[in-house]
Structures are given as C-alpha cells and as structure tokens.
Amino acid sequence: MLNLVTMQVNAQEAHPVWAYPTNPPDFKAASDDASIRRVPDSAAGYTLTQTRDRFAATDWHPGDHPAMPEVVAKGRKPDVFACGWCHRADGSGGPENANLMGLPYVYFVQQMKDFRSGDRKTSIAKRAPTALMIAGSKTISDAEIDEAARYFSSLKPRTNRRVVETPLVPKTTVDGWVLVDTGTGEKEPIGQRIIEVPEKPADFESRDSRARFIVYAPPGSVSRGMELVRTGAEGRSVPCATCHGPELKGTDTIPPIVGRSPSYVARQIHDIRSGARAGPNASQMKPVVENLTEGDIVAITAYLASRAP
C-alpha cells in the first residue's frame, strides 16, 4: 500500500500523492469469474471482461443520455478507443479522468488539439489515463472529435459526489488509478489532503455512470476554499469568477469548475504550474495558479467539489 500521507518534496512543483494515485508495480486487476454483474436501477448485465472492452462503452443507463455517436460508443479499431469507455457513456467520468458533461464545444476541441500537439501532458510519467488520451489524440480524426464534442457538450452536468469534512479518514489503497477504501475499518489522519473514494467500489469498477463518490476534506476546508475562490487567494491569484463566470459554471469557451472531482482539478493545477500542461487555456491559467499553496489547493478543490454543477 502506498503511504498517501507522504508528499513529494520540491516546494512549488511538488505533486501531491493524493491527487495522483498510481498503481503499485505489482498491481494486478481482478480476474473475471464470468459472472454477470449488475448495478442499481439497470436491467443491463455485463461480465467484468465486457466492462473492460475499450471498444464498447459500458452503457448501464441508456435512458440517461441521447444516442451516442460511433466514436463515443465504439471508437474505431485498432487504436481509437470508445470515448464512453473511459469517460462513461454519459461523460461523467471518475476521479482518474475528466468529467466531460457540458464542457464547451470550443474548449473540448482545443484540449484534443493540445493532447495531439504535445502541449497537454501529465506531471507524472506513464500515468495511464493521460497516456491513453495522448495516444488516442494522434489517431482520432477531426470529424470524430467534432462528433464527440457535440455529444458531450449537449449533456447537462449533475451532482455525483458529496464532501465530508473530517480529521480522520478510512485507510485507502490504489486500485485502477483511484483511491479506494480498504474496507478494514482502519482510520488515519487526513492531514493536508483530499481523499476521494467511490461510495460503492464494485459499481465503480463496473463503470456505472451513476457511481457516486465521497470526498473527505480537512475540517474547515469548504469555508476556507470559498474565501480563496472569491478573493483570489487573498490577492495571490484572481477570483475564479473572473474567467469561469459568476456561478463558476463556465462560459461558451471556458469550462465549469464546480461539482468536479477535486483529484482531477488538483492535477490540472499542478500540471499547469509544472508546465506539463500548456496550450492556450493553460497559458492563461499559469499565472493564476503559480502562487497557490498546497493548503490553498486542498481548500479550493474541496469547496468546488461541494458546489452543484
């Protein structure tokens, strides 16, 4: 098990382990016993192997979204994976990647261009979710990007996580690039971290788009984050509403930041600050985030996660 309290040291460019869960070298995915899996409120059934098919979006709740375009539902063999496999059929994603629901069309297209050009990378080498995006961006066509962007931008974001402030959190391990509760009942101090885990790991593993998450945050984080967001980190940054709109739900070209995974948001802040993520949008954000402390990032991401999208 990784020691998730430990932080990589390097002042401004440190990368918090809690935001970059990484499978240990000896990680092995659970084997498939060929049983049919179920999730709540769905008539569908899939084997574990079927949920791992990168060319077939696992669609537990087809009534939750309009018809998926081919690139979202199936991708294109041999090397364009189904967008809906990683990001779920309705784009809700998980802590390991982006929630695509309601992202502005222009922003979505620009991010794919940034992955393709090499402007958008990750601070942690060989982090699989980002590596898959970079590889896919090289082979996906502009027409497929257009279809995916139109589909995901049409979807209305919804709440799928709750924030719990607490000094003690369940012991966690890393499974599939996300933190999960070990289920032993053991607790440990939260420290200066956010701990984001699936409420029901089995549903999350089955790629249920309705899977929900618990966000554990240090006591006082939400109120502290609200002040930092409104004041621009007390003058060390700028108020988030300056670019992301008065309710932080984005604009026609700028993404919403409320209701999103705090692990994901923290990674973007660090990737922008380290230079791993560049491109037009990131270049505007770099001076905004470069003076934030680790405590600022914990508080800001906790507050944003507590808000409805």
Q: Which pLDDT belongs to residue 2?
A: 39
Same fold, 11-23+158-306 and 48-153: yes
> CA 64 to CA 67: how far, in whole Å?
10
Q: Which pLDDT belongs to residue 9?
A: 34
CATH class for domain 48-153? mainly alpha
CATH placement of domain 11-23+158-306: 1.10.760.10
Q: In which residue ranges of the chain is pLDDT below 50?
A: 1-13
Structure-derived torsion over alpha carbons of residues 148, 150, 155, 159, reported in degrees to the nearest 10:
60
Tens-place pLDDT, residues 252-288: 999 999 999 999 999 999 999 999 999 999 999 999 9
Name the residue ranges covered by the structural domains of the chain: 11-23+158-306, 48-153
Whole-model pTM? 0.93
> CA 176 to CA 28: how far, in whole Å?
9
> HSE on the CB side for 248, CA within 13 Å?
18
Q: Which pLDDT belongs to residue 15?
A: 84
